[in-house]
Amino acid sequence: MRAAQALYVSQPAVTRSVHELEELIGMALFVRGPRGVLPTAAGEILIERARSALGSLRRASEQIEEVRHGGPRPLRVGTNLAGAYALLPQAVVAIKRTHPEISVSVVEGTAEVLATSLQRSEIDLLVGRLDPGTYRGALHHIRLYDEAVRAVVRRGHPALSVTPRLADLLSYPWILPLQPSTLRTELDEMFATAGLKAPRDITECSTLLTSREIVLQTDSIAPLPMLIGVRDDLLDMLPLHLDTVPRAIGITLPADRSVSREARVLVDALTETARLLAAELRSATRKHAKPQISGSADQA
Please say which residue of 220, 246, 272 terminates a domain.
Answer: 246
Most confident of 21-30, 137-146, 260-269, 282-291: 260-269
Residues 127 and 273 in one domain: yes
Length of the chain as a residue count: 300
Task: Tell me how far apart the alpha carbons of residues 31 and 276 are, in angstroms, rounded to a whole number.
Answer: 54
Is residue 298 over pLDDT 50?
Answer: no
In a domain, 291, yes or no: no
- Same domain, yes or no: 153 and 142: no
Q: How far apart are CA 188 and CA 192, in angstroms?
A: 6
Cα atoms found within 13 Å of the Cα of residue 290, Cβ hemisphere only: 9
Q: Tell me if 44 is assigned to some domain.
A: yes
Same structural domain, 264 and 131: yes
CA 300, CA 295: separation in Å to the nearest integer? 7
* Angle in degrees, CA 144, 56, 272, rounded to 5: 20
Q: How far apart are the first and last CA of the chain?
A: 58
pLDDT tens-digit map of 199-256: 999 999 988 889 999 999 999 999 998 899 999 999 999 987 776 666 889 999 988 7
198 dihedral zone (left: phi>0; alpha: psi -120 to 50; beta):
beta
| pLDDT of 9 over the 60 cut | no
| Co-location of 139 and 253 in the same domain | yes
pTM greater than 0.75: no
Of 68, 89, 107, which one is at a domain's C-terminal end? Answer: 68
Least confidently predicted of 52-56, 67-71, 260-264: 67-71
User: Among 52-56, 155-159, 240-244, whose mean pLDDT is lowest?
Assistant: 52-56
Q: What integer best gives the mean pLDDT of the chain?
A: 82
Q: Are residues 99 and 115 in the same domain?
A: yes
Distance of CA 225 to the CA centre of its chain: 13
Examine residue 294 and state whether it is found in any structural domain, yes or no: no
- Cis peptide before 180, with omega less than 30 degrees from 0? yes
Q: Are 83 and 127 in contact (CB under 8 A)?
A: yes
Mean local confidence (pLDDT), 25-49? 76
Give me the CATH number covering residue 258: 3.40.190.10
Q: Are residues 134 and 276 in the same domain?
A: yes
Residues 58 and 200 both lie in one domain: no
User: Does a structural domain hold residue 296?
Assistant: no
Residue 8 within any structural domain of the chain: yes
Residue 116 located in a structural domain: yes
Across the beta sheet with 222-225, what order do the strands follow?
222-225, 149-154, 235-237
In a domain, 300, yes or no: no
Of 49, 68, 87, the residue at which a domain comes to its end is: 68
Query: Within 10 Å of residue 259's Cβ, how many Cβ atoms?
Result: 15
Whole-angstrom distance, CA of residue 169 vs CA of residue 238: 10
| 275 alpha-carbon distance from chain centroid | 21
Whether 154 and 83 share a structural domain: no
Judgement on whether residues 138 and 264 belong to the same structural domain of the protein: yes
Quick one: pLDDT at residue 207? 86
For residue 239, the Cα-to-chain-centroid distance in whole angstroms is 25
Beta strand pairing call for 202-204 and 174-176: parallel
The CATH number given to whatever domain includes residue 15 is 1.10.10.10
Instruction: Encode pLDDT of 78-117 as tens digits.
Output: 998 888 889 999 999 999 999 998 999 999 888 778 888 8
Local structure of residue 85 (DSSP, 8 states): T
Do 240 and 151 meet the contact criterion of CB atoms below 8 Å apart? yes
> For residue 233, what are the domain limits?
149-246
Do 140 and 171 share a structural domain?
A: no
Examine the domain organization and report whether 98 and 59 are in the same domain: no
Beta pairing partners, 142:
251
Instruction: Please tell me whether residues 78 and 129 are part of one structural domain.
Output: yes
Neighbours of 116 (CB within 10 A): 21
Number of domains in the chain: 3
Calculate ∠ Cα 252-110-184, nearest 5°. 115
Q: Which residue has the higher pLDDT, 290 or 190?
A: 190
Q: Looking at the domain assignment, is residue 37 inside a domain?
A: yes
